């Protein structure tokens, strides 16, 4: 317990949900406040900026649909990262796993010859498999060779980015694309249906929501989920309990990478209908999903909400670019700021503040009793 003036600060181990929510919202608000300063520095009136963004995203049907469509890959990657972070596996590689899924889906769509109605399921299957495979490599390296997971997952992103670049400039370059670095357009059977007058490829959205619920069940109701949580909370306890690290890590990354792979399938089959430059396929969804997962604080279902929030930020990025004529990179700045403030205010959650009663104030008893 500590005392500052009339306020008493008491430590608590498990903050109630209302406090977590309140503190998280405070963080987002503070980030928006600093964001306002950035707008002002760029010569754009912050009020005008936020009002324009609000009107063009939340205030119109098209805007809402754009939020939803951006939230789809964030949700799938985010749910995957929730699993990984619960196991203390630092998967920073959702970007590469997403691209792996996109590549596998493209391969299926263009070269497999699978007939009509089976094509899309095959693409999703292949996408999950590719993402999972890309994720399993770092898991194996971490457990068997103690290779730092942050580095390996990140490096795998770059490797996959250049594989995609190679494919679209080389062997998969579309002969009908007049020299552009794309593959050919997918056959119509490989196009995901979208909600009317929007780019919301709803089957992927549905998969994302179902995945969030399934992962919540896995984490809370199954033996694997239990093992994942033990590994994440205490490595020592996990070893003592005889938990097989390799098995748990591989499962974690199969699920985490696989879900990111599905996100990649959604992007190529639902939006672009071809494979193109990695920055256009993903725009950093895999990295932003880290914040989606962090903000969800270990809950896959909460990730549905947080992915919508960051879907909004991406949609806002489009508005900032087209209406306010500022570079899209503003979204990166906002993402970084939100993450800064989120972890910055985290400490607040673990302190309860109350007004000291008269007695405590005058006797100073609460001075230094240990925490």
Partner 1 sequence: MDWQSWLIGIVGRALAFGTPLLWGTLGEIYAERAGVVNLGVEGMMVLGAFSAFAVAQSTGHPGLGILVAAVVGGIAALIHAFLTVTLRANQYVSGLALTMFGLGLAGLLGRGWEGIPLRQPLPSVTVPGLSKIPLLGPMLFEDQSILTYTGLILAVVLWLLLYRTRWGIVVRSVGESPATADALGVNVFLIRYLCVIFGGVFAGVAGGFLSVEYRPAWTEGMTAGMGWIVIALTIFAAWDPLQAIWGALFFGALYHLSYRLQAWLPPELLKLMPYAFAILVLAIAGLSGRKRGAPGALGVPYTRGEK
Residues forming contacts to partner 1 in the complex (CB under 8 A) are 38, 42, 90, 92, 141, 144-148, 150-152, 154-156, 158-159, 161-163, 165-166, 169-170, 287, 290, 294, 326-327, 329-337, 339-340, 343-344, 346-347, 370
User: 87 near 278, Cβ under 8 Å?
Assistant: no
> How does strand 351-355 pair with strand 2-4?
unpaired
Measured from the CB atom, is 204 or 306 closer to partner 1? 306
Distances (CA, A) of 38 to 32, 123, 153, 164, 201: 10, 42, 32, 34, 34
- Least Cβ distance, residue 201 to partner 1 (angstroms): 26
Report the largest interatomic distance among the alpha carbons of the chain, rounded to a whole angstrom.
Answer: 84
Give me the numbers of helices (H) and strands (E) for the chain, helices first please: 16, 3
- Least Cβ distance, residue 290 to partner 1 (angstroms): 6
The separation between CA 25 and the C-alpha centre of its own chain, rounded to angstroms, equals: 18
Cα 180 from Cα 278, distance rounded (Å): 14
Measured from the CB atom, is 6 or 344 closer to partner 1? 344
Measured from the CB atom, is 154 or 212 closer to partner 1? 154
- Least Cβ distance, residue 228 to partner 1 (angstroms): 19
- Least Cβ distance, residue 152 to partner 1 (angstroms): 5
- Least Cβ distance, residue 350 to partner 1 (angstroms): 10
Measured from the CB atom, is 191 or 350 closer to partner 1? 350
Cα 24 from Cα 16, distance rounded (Å): 12
Measured from the CB atom, is 141 or 312 closer to partner 1? 141
- Least Cβ distance, residue 241 to partner 1 (angstroms): 23
Measured from the CB atom, is 165 or 360 closer to partner 1? 165
The separation between CA 330 and the C-alpha centre of its own chain, rounded to angstroms, equals: 18
Q: Give the DSSP H or E segment for 157.
A: helix 149-169
- Calculate Rg over the CA atoms of the chain: 23
β-sheet with 2-4: strand ranges across: 2-4, 7-11, 351-355
């Amino acid at each position: 317990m500590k005392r500052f003036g009339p306020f008493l600060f008491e430590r608590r181990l498990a903050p109630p949900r209302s406090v977590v929510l309140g503190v998280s919202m405070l963080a987002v608000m503070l980030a928006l406040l600093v964001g306002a300063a950035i707008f002002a520095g760029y010569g754009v009136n912050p009020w005008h900026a936020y009002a324009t963004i609000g009107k063009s995203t939340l205030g119109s049907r098209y805007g809402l649909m754009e939020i939803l469509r951006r939230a789809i890959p964030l949700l799938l990657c985010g749910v995957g990262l929730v699993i990984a972070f619960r196991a203390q596996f630092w998967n920073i590689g959702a970007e590469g796993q997403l691209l792996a899924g996109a590549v596998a889906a493209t391969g299926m769509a263009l070269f497999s010859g699978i007939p009509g109605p089976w094509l899309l399921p095959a693409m999703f299957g292949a996408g999950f498999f590719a993402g999972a495979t890309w994720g399993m490599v770092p898991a194996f390296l971490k457990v068997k060779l103690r290779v730092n997971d942050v580095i390996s997952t990140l490096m795998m992103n770059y490797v996959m980015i250049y594989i995609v670049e190679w494919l679209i400039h080389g062997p998969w370059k579309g002969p009908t694309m007049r020299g552009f670095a794309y593959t050919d357009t997918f056959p119509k059977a490989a196009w995901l249906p979208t909600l009317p007058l929007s780019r919301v490829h709803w089957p992927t959205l549905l998969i994302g929501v179902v995945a969030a619920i399934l992962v919540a069940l896995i984490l809370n109701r199954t033996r694997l989920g239990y093992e994942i949580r033990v590994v994440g909370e205490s490595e020592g306890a996990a070893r003592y309990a005889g938990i097989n690290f390799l098995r748990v890590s591989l499962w974690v990354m199969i699920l985490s990478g696989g879900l990111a792979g599905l996100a990649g399938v959604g992007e190529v089959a639902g939006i672009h209908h071809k494979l193109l430059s990695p920055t256009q396929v993903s725009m950093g969804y895999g990295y932003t999903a880290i914040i989606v997962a962090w903000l969800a604080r270990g809950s896959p279902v909460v990730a549905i909400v947080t992915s919508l929030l960051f879907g909004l930020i991406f949609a806002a990025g489009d508005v900032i670019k087209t209406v306010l004529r500022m570079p899209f990179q503003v979204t990166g700045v906002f993402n970084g700021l939100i993450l800064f403030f989120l972890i910055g205010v985290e400490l607040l959650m673990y302190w309860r503040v109350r007004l000291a009663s008269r007695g405590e104030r005058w006797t100073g008893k609460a001075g230094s009793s240990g925490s």
